[in-house]
């Protein structure tokens, strides 16, 4: 199992998120589950799913924290790490998606994918992210060294 977290700008209903993820990841929507809280015994519960998304509230410039759990399909990991897939998700949801830029040396630099526009690198306020629920504040263009391994189109 692989997991990846992202912020979503708007609060999106469960069905829209499931369809958006299925379309962006080229997965069967019947094999995508979206839950507000992971139920007890979740390893048994997820049997048969390719993607499970757990949603949590966020504040500020994002309304949701979404953690994706990817099962059984190693190619799904590469799809999540593809900027075109994150752009497709933003387009399908109709709102921005912020994904940590894991190749960057600054853990608070994110890639922001907005519907219908090019992705950009932004820096988030680390103190605001530590709040509960996390508050997303975009400072502006990303700073620091490094760069994304994602293909940003």
- pLDDT 10s digits, 67-109: 988 876 666 666 666 788 899 999 999 999 999 987 788 889 9
Rounded to whole angstroms, what are the CA distances from 82 to 8, 57, 75? Answer: 17, 25, 11
Mean pLDDT of 118-140: 91
Residue 135 placed within a domain: yes
pLDDT higher than 50, residue 149: no
Burial pattern 30-67, b for ≥16 Cβ within 10 A else e, equals ebbbbeeeeeeeeeeebeebbbbbbbeebebbbbbbbe
Domain total in the chain: 1
**pLDDT tens digit sequence for 109-128:** 999 999 999 899 999 999 99
Give per-residue pLDDT as tens, 4-37.
Answer: 899 999 999 999 999 999 999 888 999 999 998 7
In a domain, 78, yes or no: yes
* CB burial readout 127-150, b (16+ within 10 A) else e: ebbeeeebbbbbeeebeeeeebeb
pLDDT at 38 over 80: no
In this structure, is residue 117 part of a structural domain? yes
pLDDT at 141: 81
Note whether residue 152 is domain-resident.
no
The DSSP bridge partners found for residue 5 are 67
Alpha-carbon torsion (64, 5, 138, 126), positive or negative? positive
- Which pLDDT score is estimated for 105? 85
Q: Answer whether residue 146 is part of any domain.
A: no
Q: Would residue 121 count as lying in a domain?
A: yes
In a domain, 147, yes or no: no
Domain range spanning residue 72?
A: 2-141
Q: Quick one: pLDDT band at residue 65, thresholds 50, 70, 90?
A: very high
In a domain, 104, yes or no: yes
pLDDT of 40-59, one tens digit each?
777 777 788 888 999 999 99
**The predicted structure's pLDDT at residue 102:** 78
What was the pLDDT predicted at 50? Answer: 86
């Amino acid at each position: 199992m692989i997991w990846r977290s992202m912020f979503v700008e708007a609060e999106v209903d469960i069905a829209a998120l499931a369809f958006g993820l299925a379309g962006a990841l080229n997965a069967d929507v019947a094999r995508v589950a979206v839950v507000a809280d992971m139920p007890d015994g979740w390893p048994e519960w997820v049997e048969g799913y390719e993607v499970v998304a757990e949603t949590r509230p966020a504040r500020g410039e994002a309304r949701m924290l979404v953690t994706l759990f990817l099962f059984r399909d190693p190619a799904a990991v590469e799809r999540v790490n593809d900027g075109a897939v994150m752009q497709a998700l933003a387009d399908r949801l109709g709102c921005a998606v912020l994904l940590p830029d894991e190749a960057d040396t600054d853990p608070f630099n994110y890639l922001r994918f907005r519907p219908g526009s090019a992705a950009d690198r932004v820096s988030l306020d680390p103190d605001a992210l530590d709040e509960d629920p996390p508050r997303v504040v975009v400072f502006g263009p990303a700073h620091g060294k490094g760069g994304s391994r994602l293909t940003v189109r």
